[in-house]
């Protein structure tokens, strides 16, 4: 592996780790919490010397703590949703691709059917049926993301299955399970890792979008998307309430995208060598 030599990977990776660490540690070391309102300190601008690093919102809550909480929630949603799509998508795609034939056709038509569902409509339906619930966001995002992953993994498996080293394994009598596990799966790793780092920003965007619409995380919990939503309402009096979470959101998205691109280069390089 030459991950360390790739600047896109090392720089964006360390920024992400730093942000994540700050989001975990920040609320502990701050004297404030994310629910307490203070009507003497409404919409204070950020100040480095004072107690409120990112200022306060229209209810007098400390925005630094709320932003860190927002990052936690956003990253959590993104990572969990991507893991869900990783597990389901890879297993589903690898089986469809390796078994092939009618089973493959049936499995992929099911994927096509799910693709045809209008996503927002699907989420609103879930909200109506089960009431608003944090878990639902994971379910909704995961349910959509694994479709892409399954398609990609299936395509890759189809071409790997025809490769000569797989035929060599079949000839000596290596079992199907072992072929998938030892020959197909390791060769899928590159593309899967790259694709996961690229689905994380997608999941973040979807979560922010849902929260912005008021369909996501509920008060007093918050996420970067929800913070941007409240920030928009206070844009005229307190621009920082919009700019800080929006800027952080953009930075995190860019870092994940760079990370994905960088990892793709790293894996391509290994293929070429």
Partner 1 sequence: MSLLEIQDLSIKYGKTAVVEQLGFSMSCGEAVGLVGESGSGKSQTALAVMGLLPRQAHVSGSIRFAGTELLGAPQQKLDQLRARRIGIVFQDPMQALNPYLRIGRQLREILVRHKLAKGGDIDRRVIEMLTRVGLADAARQFRAFPHQLSGGMRQRVMLASALIAEPELLIADEPTTALDVTVQAQILELLEEIRDETALLLITHDLGVVAGHCERMVVLKSGRVVDAGATTSLFASPGHAHTRVLLDAAPRIDRQDIPPPATGSSILGVEGASVSYEAFGHERLRAVQGISFSLRSGETLAIVGESGSGKTSFVRAMLGLIPMEAGRAVYAGAPLDGPVERRARNQRRDLQLVFQDPVSALNPQMRVQRIIEESLLVHEPQLSRGERAVRVVEALEQVGLDEGFLRRFPHELSGGQAQRVAIARALVLGPRVLICDEAVAALDGSVRERVLKLLQTVQEQTGLAIIFISHDLAVVRSISHRVLVMYMGRLVELADNASLFSHPRHPYTRALIDAVPVPNPVIAPKKAPLAGEVPSLLKPPTGCVFHTRCNYAQQECQIRLPATHDFDGTRVACHRADEIDLT
Q: Does 5 bind partner 1 (CB under 8 A)?
A: no
Indicate the residue among 103 and 168 with the shorter CB distance to partner 1: 168
Q: How many whole angstroms from its chain centre is CA 199?
A: 6
Among 147, 169, 226, 238, binds partner 1 (CB under 8 A): 169
Judged by CB under 8 A, the chain residues 213 through 252 that form the site for partner 1 are none
The reply on whether position 183 binds partner 1 by CB under 8 A is yes
Q: According to CB under 8 A, which residues from 129 to 168 bind partner 1?
A: 163-165, 167-168
**For partner 1, which stretch binds (CB under 8 A), given 16-24, 123-131, 201-209, 265-273?**
265-273
Does residue number 173 form part of the binding site for partner 1 (CB under 8 A)?
yes
273 touching partner 1, by CB under 8 A: yes
| Cβ distance to partner 1 smaller for residue 22 or 193 | 193
Nearer to partner 1, 5 or 182 (CB): 182
Our CB check for partner 1 shows the closer of 195 and 240 to be: 195
- Judged by CB under 8 A, the residue of 176, 213, 237, 247 near partner 1 is 176
Counting residues that bind partner 1 (by CB under 8 A) gives 21
- Which residues in 185-204 contact partner 1 (CB under 8 A)? 186-187, 189
CB atoms within 10 A of CB 219: 9
Residues 31, 171, 177, 219: which binds partner 1 (CB under 8 A)?
171
Q: Rule CB under 8 A: which residues touch partner 1?
A: 163-165, 167-176, 182-183, 186-187, 189, 270-271, 273
């Amino acid at each position: 592996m030459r991950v360390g030599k790739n600047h896109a990977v090392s720089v964006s990776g360390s920024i992400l780790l730093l942000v994540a660490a700050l989001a975990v540690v920040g609320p502990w070391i701050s004297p404030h919490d994310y629910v307490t309102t203070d009507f003497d300190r409404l919409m204070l601008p950020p100040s480095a010397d004072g107690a409120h690093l990112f200022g306060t919102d229209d209810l007098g809550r400390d925005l630094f703590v709320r932003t860190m909480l927002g990052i936690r929630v956003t990253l959590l949603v993104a990572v969990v949703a991507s893991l869900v799509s990783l597990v389901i998508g890879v297993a589903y795609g690898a089986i469809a691709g390796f078994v092939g034939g009618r089973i493959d056709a049936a499995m992929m038509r099911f994927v096509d059917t799910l693709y045809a569902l209008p996503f927002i409509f699907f989420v609103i339906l879930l909200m109506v049926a089960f009431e608003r619930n944090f878990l639902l966001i994971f379910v909704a995002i995961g349910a959509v993301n694994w479709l892409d992953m399954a398609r990609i993994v299936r395509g890759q498996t189809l071409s790997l299955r025809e490769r000569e080293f797989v035929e060599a394994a079949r000839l000596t009598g290596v079992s199907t399970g072992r072929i998938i596990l030892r020959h197909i799966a390791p060769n899928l790793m590159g593309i899967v890792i790259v694709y996961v780092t690229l689905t994380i920003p997608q999941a973040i965007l979807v979560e922010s979008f849902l929260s912005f619409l008021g369909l996501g995380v509920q008060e007093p919990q918050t996420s970067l998307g929800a913070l941007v939503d409240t920030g928009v309402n206070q844009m005229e009096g307190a621009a920082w309430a919009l700019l800080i979470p929006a800027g952080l959101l953009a930075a995190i998205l860019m870092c994940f995208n760079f990370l994905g691109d960088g990892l793709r280069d790293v894996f391509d390089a290994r293929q070429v060598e």
